[in-house]
Structure 1
Amino acid sequence: MRKSQYELDREANIAKNKALFEELGLKQALNDLGPSKAKTTAKPVQHKKVKRERSAEPQPRRQSRRLLSKAKGDVEETPQERALREKEREQELRDQEDALERARIAKRPRHDILHFNTLAETDSPQDISELSTTMQSVVQEIRRIGNPDDFVYSEEAKHVAAVKELREKVQNLKVVSRAKVTTNRVYCAVYHPEITKDLIFFGDKHGQLGIWDARAAPEEEEVDGDIAPENKEGGKYWRLQLHWPATPKSSISSIKVDPIDSHNIYTSSYDCSIRSLSFVSGTSKEIYSTEDNNIICSFDQPATGQEMWISDGSGGVSHLDLREDKTHVRRYELSEVKIGSVSVNPTRPHFLLTASNSRVIKIWDTRKLSEMPIRLLDHAAQKSAKDTFARHTIDFDGSVINEYSQSGAGKGLFRGEWKHHKSASSAYWDPRGRQIVSTSYDDTIRIWDLRSQVFASDEPFPSLRPFFQMKHNCQTGKWLTILRAQWSPNPDTYPHFTVANMNHSLDIYSSKGDLITSLSDPTMISAVQAVTCSHPHIIERAASGNASGRCVLWAPQSDTNSHVSD
């Protein structure tokens, strides 16, 4: 094959260069020349990894002063080190308690029917069978109500005589029993109507219900030389974690004895539920709950026990018919802010009294509330109420209620109001359904007296001005339960109420504002008795509780038959 001119020229150049290399003595370089190889991509330089030598002596790890001191064998520690060690230990204990509480929550469905054994404290065994026996032995009681015209005297001398008689019965009450009935701060209390025992129920800040048989004979125990007999706790008590978890989100806000079944107790809680505790079945069941974090502040019932009125932290009052499903509820927005207490008139149960943070107490006619038609709601709310009435609360907001109250059909819904200078903490009807007592952060207790005539028509009350008011320190602050004046539920005695005093006493006032007596005992009581209650039948009985969960029974000294403790 004939070569091209290009190839001939190329071979001539190679021969020429070869001769030149030989002439210069670069024969070896010439030998290295050869046919061109395929071009390859160069690899990056691989740096050799040098293994890092460890230090001969390991560096010490960072440790707390407490651990370092312990490692060195130091015996003494500074006050600062001791405080730090105690703080670390307290945090460890809190973490352990939180873990145990979370485990307890996981095992206890919130809405279930719960048995006494489940509710009882697990860390300190209790004789729950004895509690059931104690409660089942009480006589069945039905709430008694007064007469609006009882104890209404035209002559002032009769009032003076009635006050004198009452003072003679209660002025010498003493501390006859004490015990730490609940673990945390007492929020509310109620006295059971049983007359053969002093049974008092206390609800605390963490959802615990304390049941105290205050004058029960002490249990036989081995003699302990370190504990004097007089320092033992009085009576017997049981603690049930009725609402959970055991945190301030489960505080028991109110307790009531069922008006028609004294073997049954109702409790409301900040966990947005109300439970019924039966001492016959030994179980607790939920009868009402909400899922919108709207805390329940209080509730009340008429003497029939078939209904329940519930106030909440958003200014609403809900009506629950206990004869129907627990979700069959109508809610009325009666205030723009929290309604702290609601009270049903015992002799005229369709008159409802509310006290709120708006500084106002108001009186409503619930007959008009129950007659409010669903058509007043907007179209979406009407459809929801008709389609799912048994599953949702029918909610009437404030604008609907205001409009309805100004219409002809709603005439008489709103009957009267009185504005305090600061938040109205509470307002309650007396057992006759005639008088009202309120407490307020303006450090004043006020009393109203409403004659029967004002209830007869649909017209607003001509005046709701209190006939008596007195100064009373109600500045409890953050760590004490709000003070609330509580009427004695006894309809057979001259009307009077109890209220705590910041000077560690329990004060008793007549319905006219007379100070009957101020019960105190500095040698045995050194805390504010913020929560008070009275026996429904026995005049010479009162009970109180403080911020540590310690409770006191006040009774004549001759009734002392149990030990008291500090």
Structure 2
Amino acid sequence: MPSLRTRKSKSSCSKDEQLEMKRKVSESPKQKKKMKVEKVEEEEDGSADSDLSDYEIDYAKRREENLRLNREFLSQFGLDKAKQDLLASVKKTAPSNRGLKKEKAPKEILPRRSSLRLQNKTPDGIELPPEALINRVAYTFSEPVQHLRPPAGPLEMKEYLHGSTTEENHKETCRVLTSLKMKPFKTASDDLERYAEKMSKTKVTAERVAKVVPERTFSLALHPSDTKVIAAVGDKWGKIGIWDVLCNTESRAEGVCCYAPHSRPITCLDFPVHSPEKMYSCGYDGSLRCGDMQKEIFIDVFNEPEDDDVLLRNFVFTSPHTMLVSENTGCVACVDIRTASTTAEQMYELSHKSFRTVSCHPTQPYYFCTAGVAGSVSVWDQRNLKPKKSKALCELAIGRNINSAYFSPVTGKHILATSINDKLTIYDSSEIGPNVTVKKSISHNNQTGRWLTGFRAAWHPAREDCFIVGSMNRPREISLFSVAGKKLHAFRDEDYLNSVCSLNALHPTLNLVAGTNSSGRVFVFM
């Protein structure tokens, strides 16, 4: 009979012996080698006594030397610098916090479907007595936000401040604008190449980016003064923001002052040269107002009845006292700002489709052009217009909806049109009449989509050999073109400009450009 060997079972071991056994089993060869290297380092430092053999000590030293040589070899190819550059390129710059502070919107309570039980009705729809409502949950529905048009007549500016704008900010903004002295600017004298070289040196910094209005922008204007840089934008819900770009006073919210004189999108803004202390604005609420910074009021210049739901799209001065206003009804209104009446002096029904822009010839102001959803640019002679059924001097068909069409600002020998068919079209209008022809057609991606304001290419106010327009290119940019169709410069900055600037404007005398995106921010390159 074979003898039986007695073996100590695992259960009979003490707890400390079991932990020691697990530790020995779990130690991998790599861990053991690491412990040996640490012991070598401790021995070299004199912090511990070595129990390693000479071979193990020599192996650890040669390994450390090989690692050092490998690091030096790889550093010769600049891999460390390339790694740092790559990390820096993917790092996104946070949006600018200058200007208006974001307000926390109230949480919207969505409506819920109400069952017959909650309506206190039987499955057949028969009304039950009120006693049946006991112990049933009552649901409340939030009313939709209504944007009512401000009342007609003059409005006190301080009563229509918006957001974080204080009365102190308003007072300082009015003081700055009323102190500006303005002379009619002359036509630019330097050639196009020199001007493009100057503009290529402009830059945007963190101090030149600010949130000026709370919502998506629909209009942009630069004050023509050369002593101050003032930008104004209008947004989706009737807010106008005025930004003193070079103001560094924190108490003025970095120079931003916001008002609410309208209730719907503001589609056109202008600081007229003949009245630099005034700012004119019109919008979808059917009103055109003048912000008089000296009197600190918004004057009601022209309005359509609110119940008619007429949208004012654009206006242009034909003289210091008269202007033309385009409407979505296909009408153009002639308004005299000297009269106390808020109705038009004359209303011309020119089309059965909506107009978007109206532009006046700079030297022959009785000529003006309109553009809109009809897909053509029409040139008119105001002297021959009738209230109804007037005939245009010429119809320049493009084929798709047109965002804008403007006469060149100096001689009016060009018309610049921006259309949805991905074209920037320049017409030769040196001779007004049927002879107006296409001078240059430039391919340009104008597909901004539903959530971005449409591009509207804009002339330089003091020269007609170049214009500016937004771009869908990546990295984001603002494009400067010559009248010959050549791209002169792309205003870019991957740190601060990371969005599409739909609306842009060039200053008449200073080498700067301002652009605005659909979140209410303004970017200034100077």
TM-score (norm 1): 0.64
| Aligned pairs (5 A) from 1:179-194 | 179-194=210-225
Cα distance, 1:114–1:367 mapped onto 2, change above 3 Å:
same
Q: Percent of pairs identical after alignment?
A: 25
Cα distance, 1:125–1:480 mapped onto 2, change above 3 Å:
same
Give the letter for the 1:422 counterpart.
R
Query: How big is the shift at 1:269?
Result: 0.7
Question: Which residue, 248, 255, 260 being the options, matches 1:236?
Answer: 255
| Aligned pairs (5 A) from 1:246-265 | 250-265=264-279
Give the letter for the 1:257 counterpart.
F
1:536 aligns with 2:508: yes
Report what 2:492 is aligned to. Answer: 520
User: Whole-Å Cα distance in 2 between the matches of residues 220 and 124 of structure 1?
Assistant: 10
User: Whole-Å Cα distance in 2 between the matches of residues 181 and 123 of structure 1?
Assistant: 11
Report what 2:82 is aligned to. Answer: none
Question: Which residue, 428, 435, 441 being the options, matches 2:420?
Answer: 441
Report what 1:64 is aligned to. Answer: none
Greater relative contact order (CA < 8 Å, ≥ 6 in sequence): 1
Query: How big is the shift at 1:126?
Result: 4.8
Q: Which deviates more from structure 2 when the two are superposed, residues 479-488 or residues 506-515?
A: 506-515
1:551 aligns with 2:522: yes
Report what 1:205 is aligned to. Answer: 236
Report what 1:276 is aligned to. Answer: 290
Question: Which residue, 169, 172, 175 being the options, matches 2:204?
Answer: 175
TM-score (norm 2): 0.69
Report what 1:308 is aligned to. Answer: 323
Q: Which secondary structure state, in structure 1, belongs to the residue aligned with residue 500 of structure 2?
A: coil
Give the letter for the 2:257 counterpart.
W
User: Whole-Å Cα distance in 1 between the matches of residues 407 and 481 of structure 2?
Assistant: 15
User: Whole-Å Cα distance in 2 between the matches of residues 465 and 450 of structure 1?
Assistant: 7
Give the letter for the 1:500 counterpart.
G
Report what 1:80 is aligned to. Answer: none
Q: Which secondary structure state, in structure 2, belongs to the residue aligned with residue 91 of structure 1?
A: coil
Report what 2:467 is aligned to. Answer: 497
Cα distance, 1:296–1:145 mapped onto 2, change above 3 Å:
farther
User: Whole-Å Cα distance in 1 between the matches of residues 401 and 251 of structure 2?
Assistant: 49
Q: Write the deviation string for residues 360-384 of structure 1: whole angstroms up to 9, x where unpaired.
A: 0011111112xx4xxxxxxxxxxxx
1:368 aligns with 2:384: yes
Q: Write the deviation string for residues 257-308 of structure 1: whole angstroms up to 9, x where unpaired.
A: 1241111111001000100100110110111011111101111112x32111
Residue pair 2:238, 2:260 contacting (<8 A) in 1 also? yes
Bigger radius of gyration among the two: 1
Query: How big is the shift at 1:204?
Result: 0.7
Query: How big is the shift at 1:123?
Result: 5.5
Q: Which secondary structure state, in structure 2, belongs to the residue aligned with residue 135 of structure 1?
A: helix
Cα distance, 1:121–1:426 mapped onto 2, change above 3 Å:
same
1:317 aligns with 2:317: no
Report what 2:443 is aligned to. Answer: 471
Q: Which secondary structure state, in structure 2, belongs to the residue aligned with residue 425 of structure 1?
A: strand
| Aligned pairs (5 A) from 1:32-71 | none
Report what 2:107 is aligned to. Answer: 90
Cα distance, 1:487–1:254 mapped onto 2, change above 3 Å:
same
Question: Which residue, 123, 137, 142 being the options, matches 2:179?
Answer: 137
User: Whole-Å Cα distance in 2 between the matches of residues 191 and 124 of structure 1?
Assistant: 21
Residue pair 2:217, 2:520 contacting (<8 A) in 1 also? yes
User: Whole-Å Cα distance in 1 between the matches of residues 106 and 259 of structure 2?
Assistant: 28
Residue pair 1:140, 1:263 contacting (<8 A) in 2 also? no
User: Whole-Å Cα distance in 1 between the matches of residues 425 and 144 of structure 2?
Assistant: 46
Q: Write the deviation string for residues 142-165 of structure 1: whole angstroms up to 9, x where unpaired.
A: 4x575xxx99xxxxxxxxx93321
Cα distance, 1:145–1:319 mapped onto 2, change above 3 Å:
farther
Query: How big is the shift at 1:344?
Result: 0.6
Gaps of 5+ in 2: 1-104, 112-139
Report what 2:136 is aligned to. Answer: none
Query: How big is the shift at 1:321?
Result: 2.0
Give the letter for the 2:171 counterpart.
S
Report what 2:300 is aligned to. Answer: 286
User: Whole-Å Cα distance in 2 between the matches of residues 310 and 194 of structure 1?
Assistant: 25
Report what 1:266 is aligned to. Answer: 280
Residue pair 2:163, 2:258 contacting (<8 A) in 1 also? no
User: Whole-Å Cα distance in 1 between the matches of residues 416 and 492 of structure 2?
Assistant: 23
Report what 1:349 is aligned to. Answer: 365
Equivalent pairs counted in the alignment come to 384
User: Whole-Å Cα distance in 2 between the matches of residues 240 and 267 of structure 1?
Assistant: 12
Residue pair 1:126, 1:238 contacting (<8 A) in 2 also? no
Report what 1:215 is aligned to. Answer: 246
Residue pair 1:113, 1:285 contacting (<8 A) in 2 also? yes
Residue pair 1:141, 1:262 contacting (<8 A) in 2 also? no
Q: Write the deviation string for residues 523-547 of structure 1: whole angstroms up to 9, x where unpaired.
A: 2121101110111222x11100001
Residue pair 2:333, 2:344 contacting (<8 A) in 1 also? no
Residue pair 1:141, 1:193 contacting (<8 A) in 2 also? no
User: Whole-Å Cα distance in 1 between the matches of residues 221 and 106 of structure 2?
Assistant: 38
